[in-house]
Amino acid sequence: MSKADVAVSPAAWRCAGPEGAARPSLPEVHASVAVPQGGLWLRRLLAFTGPGYMVSVGYMDPGNWATDLAGGSQFGYTLLAVIMLSNLMAILLQSLAARLGIVTGRDLAQACRDHYPRPVSLMLWIACEAAIIACDLAEVIGTAIALNLLFGIPLIGGALITALDAFLVLLLMKRGFRYLEAFVVALLTIIAGCFAVQIAAAAPPVAAVLGGFVPSAEIVTNPAMLYVAIGILGATVMPHNLYLHSSIVQTRAYPRTDDGRRDAIRWATLDSTIALMLALFVNAAILIVAAAVFHGSGHTEVAEIGQAFELLSPLLGLGIASTLFAVALLASGLNSTVTATLAGQIVMEGFLRLRLPHWARRLLTRGLAIIPVVVVTALYGERGTAQLLVFSQVVLSMQLPFAVIPLVRMVTDRGKMGRFAIPGWVAALSWVVAAVIVVLNLKLLADTLAG
């Protein structure tokens, strides 16, 4: 038996049974995208381009908007350092997720089920489902607010309309995975274009922006700033994206050999790194616009998307600015439905081996997200939904350790990864990132309990 066989042998996974070994992740699109063997490097990169952009959607979804707006309006450019560090952490963690999927042929959910005792894997499943519901909550709120701003649809009505997006995802999946990726990239282009115009109109001071990327001790010592900072961390490094990425990289029909896996890891890592740099631009742009337009004019309490929409055009002096803001928000909400749908399917099938029709799985998670939005909107109006949006991102951050620690544990295990286990210095860096996430979340929890 070769070393390549050892790296992916089902026998190396404790609790792995014949059923787990036989069923690939997302079987309907597994190895469905052709990869050229040879030729120009650009053709090979383009063949692997797509999964990284689908993952990047989760790093610029409506949840990011709430935390970035709050951070920019309250604290100026200071929290740009958190966005940058979060993005660097995301690049590392997503590369690990891609490596796990390519080498083992398992997504992170399947790997956890095979490796951990049943009670532990069930706990991890519950934590991940909570993260997906929190993410879905942000999508529902963001999309409902965008529909309200653009078309005057009441928030409750907009929240109910978002349930229909299950059928959009189902339609795209039937046409093929490349169509799904093209839809995502098209909406990402709209989002980036909208914010490029707003950045140009805001004309922020370059020195202040660059200074914001330098970390400040106040971020940790100021409880209010720390709360928003961890919200940004939760909105940027999203736990369900690790499950998603470990699965969708397997849609490429790369040779399941040592050389094929090594090549696939290289191109998949490059794809996700480039895509996440786009996410860094969008997240930084939201905070920079908020800092330049709101914080700079004394509007330091702008944390609600509706508020930002109303003030953006008058303060910027650009009539189309608010419309561009709402269009980008709608594109962000629509895009996020794709990744949340796939992540929900991957998590449920991987942990439970339970298969539901895609539309049923989507309506189930979307229903769980719609109920609190409708209740909070009815009781507290738009301000309540804005607070719920920020809180959902903190919940996401609290779930991160339950995805990050198993992931790092898997990719450092030579018994499972063989020669593809990450080098010692990468493993050390990965454990440092996991420790930072755990410590920040414990501090946030302590501050919250202390009032």
**Domain spans in the chain, listed from the N-terminal domain onward:** 3-449
Residue 21 has pLDDT above 70, yes or no: no
pLDDT band at 235 (very low <50, low <70, confident <90, very high): low
256 to 45, 103, 261, 407: CA distances (angstroms): 18, 8, 6, 21
Query: What residues contact residue 417 under an 8 Å CB cut-off, 6+ apart?
Result: 7, 99, 100, 103, 104, 410, 411
Stretch 100-126: mean pLDDT: 93
What angle separates helix 239-248 from helix 80-104, to the nearest 10 degrees? 40
Alpha-carbon distance of 428 to 2, in angstroms, equals 28
pLDDT score of 424: 92
Tally of helices (H runs) and strands (E runs) in the chain:
22, 0
- pLDDT, tens only, 115-152: 999 999 999 998 888 888 777 777 788 888 889 889 99
Q: What is the mean pLDDT of residues 190-214?
A: 91
| Fold entry, domain 3-449 | Amino acid/polyamine transporter I (1.20.1740)
CA nearest neighbour of 331 among 179, 165, 154, 88:
165
pLDDT for 333? 85
3-state secondary structure of 252: strand
Residue 8 pLDDT exceeds 70 = no
Q: 297 versus 284: which is more confidently predicted?
A: 284
Alpha helices (runs of H) in 203-289, residue ranges in sequence order: 206-212, 218-221, 223-236, 239-248, 258-289
**pLDDT tens readout for residues 147-179:** 988 999 988 888 888 777 767 777 777 788 898
**385-433 confidence digits (pLDDT tens):** 767 776 776 777 778 788 899 999 999 999 989 999 999 999 999 999 9
pLDDT of residue 57: 86
